[in-house]
Structure 1
Amino acid sequence: MRLKSMLAAGLCAALFHTGPAFAAEDSVTAAKALLQAMRYDEIIAQTMQQMEATMQQQMEQQLWQNLPNCAETPDCKSKVGTFLQQMMKTQQAYFHSPETRKLMNEVQVQALSKNFSVAEIREMSAFYQTPTGSKMLRLMPKITAEIGPVLMKDIGQRLMPELKQQMDEFARRNDVR
């Protein structure tokens, strides 16, 4: 009888210690199922395309701002064009790499399982399987594409001049050129 009590106590202790691991694993499993319901791979692909286009615009704009007289010289303009193409290839390789996609997926699973309960993750999964949830997923890249350029324009008009002024002031005060 004493042996049975000790075995039962040991089993309970083992289950108690592994309980959080089972719960964590369950939330990871639920998060992975949610990402499948959301067609997360498609969302990543669309998001990456938008990020590429935005970054390309930003890099090109920044490069021409840093080289204002270059556009007037055909040789310089050609070299910058070639350099921009090289940068775009590097950027595309990053965004299209399996490692980047895997990282985004893993980080998303971790964030979901850390910030939501299993029940909440399952509720979200159920929502995304409804017609409204499906429509939201289908339209989210379009909505994001509408927001992105407006925000980037505002950043260029309001934030960048202020940051440039601060950098210029810092350089002037610290005699940095």
Structure 2
Amino acid sequence: MLFVFSSFAFANSEAENEAARLLNVMGAETAIEQSMNQMMEMQVQQNPALLPFRHVIADFFEQYMSYESLKPEMVKLYAEEFTTDELRELNAFYRTPTGRKTIEKMPVLFARGGQIGIQRVEQNIHMLEAMIVAETERLQLSEPQ
């Protein structure tokens, strides 16, 4: 029984080591720090009254949203979602030129994909409005008078 538990702990530790390596290869620290800065800038831009509190917001994000504060949970997340072998394969892939390009292009792809989604909604918003009107009418007709 002890052997089973120690084997599980070793496998889990191995997966966590691979997950930590993957986060490093993927540049997670830089990505999280950039994201944290962008979130702070968005908060200040959306609410200029927060400008005098910028340092407070920065301290908050550093404490609760920094890579170092998130890393243990991120490692655990990756170790739970991928096997040790899968994490090794991902690490190997992200070390290739194509893998590095994937990491580099991912933010652009996500941003452009989001833009496509926004455009699609804007192009078809009239359909959503018509659907909401139709559903409102249906609900009003089904209410007991």
Kept after mapping to 1: 8 A contact 2:26/2:94:
yes
Q: CA 1:139/1:31 → structure 2, altered by over 3 Å: closer, same or farther? A: same
Identity of matched residues, %: 28
Q: Unaligned 5+ residue runs, structure 1?
A: 1-12, 61-80, 159-177
Question: How do 1:32-47 and structure 2 match up within 5 A?
Answer: 32-47=20-35
Aligned to 1:72: none
Shift of residue 19, structure 1, vs aligned partner: 1.2
Q: Unaligned 5+ residue runs, structure 2?
A: 126-145
Kept after mapping to 1: 8 A contact 2:44/2:51:
no
- Structure 2 letter corresponding to 1:49: N
Normalised to the residue count of structure 1, the TM-score between the two structures is 0.56
Give the count of matched residue pairs: 121
Q: CA 1:142/1:54 → structure 2, altered by over 3 Å: closer, same or farther? A: farther
Q: CA 1:146/1:90 → structure 2, altered by over 3 Å: closer, same or farther? A: farther
- Once the two structures are superposed, what CA deviation does each residue of 1:6-60 show, in whole Å capped at 9, x if it has no partner? xxxxxxx4322311111111111110111121122111122212222333334x1
Aligned to 2:79: 113
Question: CA separation in 1, counterparts of 2:59 and 2:32?
Answer: 15
Q: CA 1:96/1:144 → structure 2, altered by over 3 Å: closer, same or farther? A: farther
Kept after mapping to 2: 8 A contact 1:52/1:92:
yes
Structure of greater relative contact order (alpha carbons < 8 Å, 6+ residues apart): 1
Normalised to the residue count of structure 2, the TM-score between the two structures is 0.67
Aligned to 1:57: 45
State which of 78, 94, 103 in structure 1 corresponds to 2:69.
Answer: 103
Kept after mapping to 1: 8 A contact 2:25/2:91:
yes
Q: CA 1:151/1:85 → structure 2, altered by over 3 Å: closer, same or farther? A: farther
Shift of residue 100, structure 1, vs aligned partner: 3.0
Shift of residue 119, structure 1, vs aligned partner: 0.7
Aligned to 1:21: 9
Q: Is the aligned partner of 1:133 residue 2:99?
A: yes
- Computing the radius of gyration from Cα coordinates, the structure with the larger value is 1
